[in-house]
Amino acid sequence: MSKLKKSPRILKPVPVVKLIPNILTLIGLVIGVSSIRFALDSKWEISVYCILIATIIDGLDGRIARMLNATSHFGAELDSLCDFANFGLCPAFIIYLWSFQQYEYKVTSWAAITFFIVCMGIRLARFNATIIKPVESKKATMFSTGVPAPSGAMLALLPIILDFEITTYFEDFSMRNHTLLINLYIFFVAILLASRLPTISIKQFNIKPEYLSLFMAMFAIIIIVTAIYPWYMLPIAAIVYLLSIIICINIARRL
């Protein structure tokens, strides 16, 4: 009996514009991973800037994909893997090189860093599961579940950011010398990542047309001030975000 010949697969050409979101995701990965290189050279500010830029790119690639109607399963998986590298592995190595490497009890520090990476993996895996099988509930549509990966990375880097400018006003005080507190803080951020606590979701914010001009003006002011004083504004944003979790929990209980 002769074998049936398989007909050749005809692949439809993919427009270059459809690849823009994936290319943007890879650019974010390159910038995020570059933070480790700068951390190895003790260029901490540049290293944190790399994670910050990767965070901005992560917020753009998905929206651009939806605008171009270029969403795909491959793009979602690529984005998730890049997020794990940018917001899980890279911040962990930066923190370890910045403070924990000089710590006498490195095993404890490594445990905190490893726990952070594991919780980041759990957070991203749960997010991927909700994409495949969305949860239909009012609470799920109003809030995010747990702290998102980019927010978790910036929260984890908060001790380093505080050490850039704010702690310079206090003599004989350095964040790097309080490794035990940083360890406990990293454990706390990791738990927030893997938790099911309701957190704020910008997607659910709606602005009335009469307030659009005011909102845009205020947003522009915030961006300008952040660009001029990033190491002051980022800690303020982190504190506001942590306080918003308490508010979200109270709102979710009333639903």
DSSP string, 129-160: HHHHS---SHHHHHSEES--HHHHHHHHTHHH
Query: In angstroms, how far is CA 40 from the centroid of its own chain?
Result: 21
Backbone angles phi, psi at 198, to 5 degrees: -75, 130
**pLDDT tens string 115-146:** 999 999 999 998 888 876 666 666 666 788 88
The pLDDT value recorded for residue 71 is: 82
* Cβ pair 62, 149 in contact under 8 A: no
Mean pLDDT of 177-202: 90
The pLDDT value recorded for residue 152 is: 95
99: nearest Cα among 188, 181, 189, 187: 181
Q: Which residues partner with 144 through β-bridges?
A: 199
Q: Above 70 in pLDDT, residue 102?
A: no
Identity at 107, one-letter amino acid code: V
The pLDDT value recorded for residue 103 is: 64
Banded model confidence at residue 66, pLDDT cuts 50, 70, 90: confident
Where b means 16+ CB within 10 Å and e means fewer, 200-228 reads: beeeeeeeeeeeeeeeeeeeeeeeeebee
- Range from 134-138, 153-157, 243-247 carrying the lowest mean pLDDT: 134-138
- Residue 142: Cβ within 10 Å count: 16
The torsion region of residue 42 among left (phi > 0), alpha (psi -120 to 50) and beta comes to left
- Range from 35-44, 140-149, 192-201, 227-236 carrying the lowest mean pLDDT: 140-149
Q: Above 50 in pLDDT, residue 1?
A: no
Domain range list for the chain? 84-254
- Tokens for 147, please give them: 């702290």
* Cβ pair 215, 205 in contact under 8 A: no
Mean pLDDT of 192-213: 84
Q: What is the mean pLDDT of the chain?
A: 86
**pLDDT tens string 79-94:** 999 999 999 999 999 9
Mean pLDDT of 58-72: 85
Q: State the DSSP code for 234.
A: H
Q: Above 60 in pLDDT, residue 10?
A: no
3-state secondary structure of 148: coil
Q: What is the pTM of this model?
A: 0.87
Q: Above 90 in pLDDT, residue 3?
A: no
The pLDDT value recorded for residue 122 is: 94
